């Protein structure tokens, strides 16, 4: 099978969650003998390298770029793919690429890494908390609340224009053959907003088994561990509030806008490790006693949760969005009420004083990883989607 993978990077080919998922999928399907071509663009072409004219054109072409339409047609003509699989089209590529593929007779798949199709801000967040006001209501709220990540008024405006000019998803529905939602929770949200359910398939993220390069099942090591961006929606303030009065090590890995404030007000047993490489985060997670995921947003499919599961770690996570699909409360982890520091502290105290429970939860989490989130299982799901389209 010949597969064209398309991705629009948000920055200068930064390695984030979407990029990691895309590259992992590319490697996986290549290992199974398929021919893959990647076509990548970056918004740095506009924000960093573009002239004033380029920026004005980006405003004008946010929902349809004739240039991208022609470029994708040319790529398709030269490569002759069976499938065009898109991971992101915002901002340079625009939805016009799907029309180009349709006009060339090529089937298309769009992975829904975020909620941009049904929420202009892309995350169902307002001021760091879950918000669904735009789901069936007035999307102009994004300008008042500046819901785009980073609270950028310009990007909020561009997101709104893209949302409106694609006629609330009606345009994409006509030119996208299949969507991939990362969880059943996500699939149901997209259906609730009007996407056709028969076009939406669920395929979670996956990861290669990190224990293949480690000597044994992860040890019951040092303290609790958090890794993530230090921003309001990630729940870091709730986590540190929960840790007040706990005489127990908490490693905090990550950077972000709240770093300085959190360091000033942190309890004494919270140790800020700041930015760490992915390998170092895995090592520290491997050596921890349990992992905490306090996010106060829905999220898509958190890779950090998957990493903890694969390493056989007990997990405490906020009960929002798809977390209950990944973690069965009391079986493969513990869930707490999002934003509730007292509930989080109570769950942490349970794991602190009960090593047998930590081990039991960690073993169940790893068992679920091996059953559902390995490369081979993921490959079969992806091929079923591709083959269904082609046949």
CATH of the domain at 341: 3.40.50.2000
pLDDT of res. 168: 47
Residue 181 in domain: yes
Task: Give Cα 8 distance to the centre of its chain.
Answer: 15
Per-residue DSSP letter, 228: S
Residue 200 in domain: yes
Which is more confidently placed, 172 or 331?
Answer: 331
- 218 pLDDT exceeds 90? no
Let me know whether 185 and 43 are in one domain: yes
Let me know whether 263 and 196 are in one domain: no
Let me know whether 195 and 331 are in one domain: no
Angstrom distance (rounded) from CA 345 to CA 330: 16
Let me know whether 240 and 107 are in one domain: no
Let me know whether 202 and 89 are in one domain: yes
Let me know whether 197 and 259 are in one domain: no
Residue 172, classed as helix, strand or coil, is helix
Mean pLDDT of the chain: 90
pLDDT band of residue 365 (cuts 50, 70, 90) is very high
Let me know whether 92 and 110 are in one domain: yes
pLDDT of res. 193: 87
pLDDT of res. 143: 76
Sheet holding 35-42, edge to edge: 35-42, 2-9, 83-88, 107-112, 178-181, 200-202
Let me know whether 195 and 281 are in one domain: no
Residue 132 in domain: no
Span 118-162, pLDDT tens digits: 887 778 888 778 988 877 667 777 777 777 766 677 777 777 776
Let me know whether 290 and 333 are in one domain: yes
In sign, the C-alpha dihedral spanning 137, 142, 144, 150 is positive
pLDDT of res. 140: 73
pTM of the model: 0.91
Let me know whether 320 and 263 are in one domain: yes
Residue 138 in domain: no
pLDDT band of residue 194 (cuts 50, 70, 90) is confident
Residue 252, classed as helix, strand or coil, is strand
Query: What domain range is 253 assigned to?
Result: 210-372
- 115 pLDDT exceeds 80? yes
CB 354 within 8 A of CB 330: no
pLDDT-above-90 percentage for the chain: 71
Residue 163 in domain: no
Of 319, 153, 295, the residue nearest 229 (C-alpha):
295
pLDDT band of residue 169 (cuts 50, 70, 90) is low
Mark residue 355 as left, alpha or beta (left: phi above 0; alpha: psi -120 to 50; beta: remaining): alpha
Let me know whether 23 and 105 are in one domain: yes
Q: How many domains does the chain have?
A: 2
Tokens of 76: 């398709």
Let me know whether 188 and 329 are in one domain: no
């Amino acid at each position: 099978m010949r597969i064209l993978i398309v991705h629009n990077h948000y920055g200068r080919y930064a390695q984030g969650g979407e990029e990691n998922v895309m590259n992992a999928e590319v490697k996986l399907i290549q290992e199974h003998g398929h021919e893959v071509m990647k076509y990548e663009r970056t918004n740095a072409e506009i924000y960093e390298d573009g002239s004033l004219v380029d920026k004005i054109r980006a405003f004008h072409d946010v929902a349809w770029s004739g240039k991208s339409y022609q470029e994708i047609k040319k790529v398709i003509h030269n490569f002759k793919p069976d499938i065009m699989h898109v991971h992101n089209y915002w901002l340079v590529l625009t939805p016009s690429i799907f029309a180009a593929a349709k006009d060339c007779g090529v089937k298309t798949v769009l992975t829904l890494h975020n909620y941009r199709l049904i929420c202009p801000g892309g995350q169902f967040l307002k001021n760091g908390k879950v918000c669904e006001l735009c789901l069936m209501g007035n999307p102009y709220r994004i300008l008042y609340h500046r819901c785009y990540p980073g609270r950028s008024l310009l990007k909020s405006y561009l997101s709104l224009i893209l949302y409106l000019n694609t006629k609330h998803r009606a345009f994409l529905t006509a030119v996208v053959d299949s969507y991939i939602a990362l969880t059943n929770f996500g699939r149901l949200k997209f259906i609730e907003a009007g996407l056709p359910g028969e076009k939406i398939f669920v395929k979670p993220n996956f990861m290669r088994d990190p224990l293949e390069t480690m000597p044994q099942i992860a040890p019951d090591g040092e303290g609790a561990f958090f890794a993530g961006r230090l921003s309001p929606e990630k729940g870091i303030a709730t986590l540190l509030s929960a840790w007040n009065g706990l005489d127990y090590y908490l490693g905090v890995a990550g950077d972000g806008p709240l770093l300085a404030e959190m360091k000033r007000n942190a309890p004494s047993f919270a140790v800020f490790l700041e930015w760490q490489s992915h390998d170092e985060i895995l090592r520290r997670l491997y050596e921890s006693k349990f992992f905490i995921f306090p996010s106060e947003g829905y999220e898509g499919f958190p890779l950090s949760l998957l990493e903890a599961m694969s390493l056989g770690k007990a997990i405490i996570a906020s009960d929002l969005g798809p977390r209950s699909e990944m973690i069965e409360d009391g079986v493969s982890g513990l869930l707490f009420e999002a934003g509730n520091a007292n509930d989080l502290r109570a769950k942490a105290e349970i794991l602190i004083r009960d090593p047998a429970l930590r081990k039991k939860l960690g073993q169940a989490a790893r068992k679920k990883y091996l059953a559902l989130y390995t490369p081979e299982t993921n490959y079969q799901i992806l091929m079923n989607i591709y083959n269904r389209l082609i046949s």
